[in-house]
Amino acid sequence: MTAATVPPAGPRWDMRTRMVIVSASGALPMLIIAVISPTFLKPGALPVLSLITFFTAVTVLIAAAVGRLTDRQFTVLGAGGMLGVATSAYVIADPAATRSVTAMLAIVPAIAASGSPPRVTTSLTALSVVMATIVTATDLAATGPLVSLIAIGAAVTTVLIPVTVISGLARSLRTVNLELQALADTDPLTGLLNRRGMLAPTRALLDAVHRRGTGIRAAVIDIDHFKQVNDTLGHTGGDRVLIAVANTIGAVLGDFAPLDSVLARIGGEEFLVLVPADLDQALERRILGRVRADTAVTASIGTVTAALSPVADGSMQPPPSGRRQPDMQLCEPNEGSLDPVETVIDIVGRTADGALYHAKTGGRDRAYTADPVVVTWPPAAPRTAGTRRRGLASPLLAGTGAPAADLAHDGEDDDVRFDRLQP
């Protein structure tokens, strides 16, 4: 049994939390300045600034302790920090220093724009604009309405410009990341998922069929005589055939399979289909018929049905005699693999591939199915580093030992052979 290695955890603080800690820490020296220079504040304002400094210190400590602030925590601490900035600006005696401190109201909305949901960014930006307007307008009697109006406009602009720029950059970065993710998860020729890209939808499919109490059916589809296609039509012609077959399989799934079905290209001319086990058993026959009718090639298919067996501790022990029951095989994941979805894909893929071999040797343009297997799902919860992840290290593949049987035809595509693989 393989001992899995847990990958190292991410950074202690995310970017947003680090920015909160740095920006809040920068406001702490204000109290020292007020103590050294009593004229820095309006009369009687030192207790108020002391309270603000205390709240700022608490904010830094909370952010440092939490490590990754939730949106709610960030909103509460950010709003409190802006209130402290606005109050500090109000109690400062020097108008020039007041305008400088007021500019700090732009910090929290700018931090929000870098990585918070739009509603959080919008709320904090609106609150910052209101506070900047109020603080600037308090000096209306001393400066006059025109100067105050200009000052209010400058304060609001100081808040909005960074938020707008950072929001635009964040949207551009998200768009680029989505495009890179699509490139990493998609086969560039056919537009289908690749092996990496099929992990997330396969997990969703496994969870869905597990909740319904059913299993999955896997089908490995291989284009017949594809080397001859490349030799005859060239690689460009072969690419066109691959695209045509991929589109045809996708069209059949779109007509007869549920939305959570998975279709991926897993090799040069091989495709993997994962569907709920209770789906119409004629799906493979329809795929064979449509490929033959709509493209210039035929295909062979190997299939297997996998039941999902929840096991309390993620493993299954051998019988008391120490010997395994007949037709049982304990399958280990790849070395270093931590994703149980990859293990399930590997189990059903290898079993269906074995059935595909019999479809090829039996004459091609047909489908063979292997005896059903059993895999453990859901996986065990993650454990700490250095311990065994038993749900990942010992998924069970068990043959049912059912006798071989030739599946009957329903009259559709009668020239398609659909047999059962001998155990």
Please determine, for residue 347, whether its predicted confidence score (pLDDT) is greater than 70: yes
CB 203 within 8 A of CB 264: no
pLDDT at 366 over 70: yes
SS3 198: coil
The region of weakest confidence among 195-204, 210-219, 264-273, 378-387 is 378-387
What is residue 142's predicted lDDT score, i.e. its pLDDT?
A: 57
- Pairing of β 299-309 and β 366-369: parallel
Pair of tokens at residue 222: 């291989």
Distances (CA, A) of 253 to 40, 48, 186, 265, 273: 73, 68, 18, 14, 9
pTM equals 0.61
**Under a CB-based contact definition with an 8 Å cutoff, are residues 28 and 88 in contact?**
no
Q: How far apart are CA 400 and CA 405, in angstroms?
A: 13
In this structure, how many other beta carbons lie within 10 angstroms of the beta carbon of residue 314?
A: 23
Amino acid 139: pLDDT = 62
CA–CA distances in Å: residue 293 to residues 123, 159, 206: 58, 63, 32
Residues 6+ apart with CB under 8 A from 254: none
Q: Which pLDDT score, from 0 to 100, does residue 259 have? A: 87
Mean pLDDT of the chain, nearest integer: 78
Taking 70 as the threshold, does the pLDDT of residue 168 lie above it?
yes
Q: Which are the contacts of 170, defined by CB distance < 8 A and separation ≥ 6? A: 113, 114, 115
Q: Find tokens 């204000």 and name the residue.
A: 30
Count Cβ atoms within 10 A of the Cβ of residue 351 and give its class: 0-12 exposed, 13-18 middle, 19 or more buried.
buried
Write down the pLDDT at residue 286. 94
What per-residue string of b and e applies to 220-231 under the rule 16 or more CB within 10 Å gives b?
Answer: bbbbbebeebbe
Q: Which two tokens mark 157?
A: 């602009």
The predicted-structure confidence for 259-309, as pLDDT tens digits, reads as follows 889 999 998 999 999 999 988 778 999 999 999 999 999 999 999 999 988
CA distances from 30 to 53, 63, 66, 104 (A): 8, 20, 25, 13
- Do 365 and 227 form a contact (C-beta atoms < 8 A)? no
Higher pLDDT, 394 or 86: 86
Q: What is the mean pLDDT of residues 135-146?
A: 67
CB atoms under 10 Å from CB of 280, counted, come to 11
Q: Is the peptide bond before 145 cis (omega within 30 degrees of 0)?
A: no
Q: Output 325 or 137, whichever has higher pLDDT.
A: 137
Per-residue pLDDT tens digits for 41-93: 888 888 888 888 888 888 889 988 888 889 999 999 888 888 888 888 888 87
Q: Is residue 371 within 8 Å of residue 401, measured between CB atoms?
A: yes
- Structure confidence at residue 95 as a pLDDT band (50, 70, 90): confident
Task: Report phi then psi at 371, rounded to 5.
Answer: -60, 150
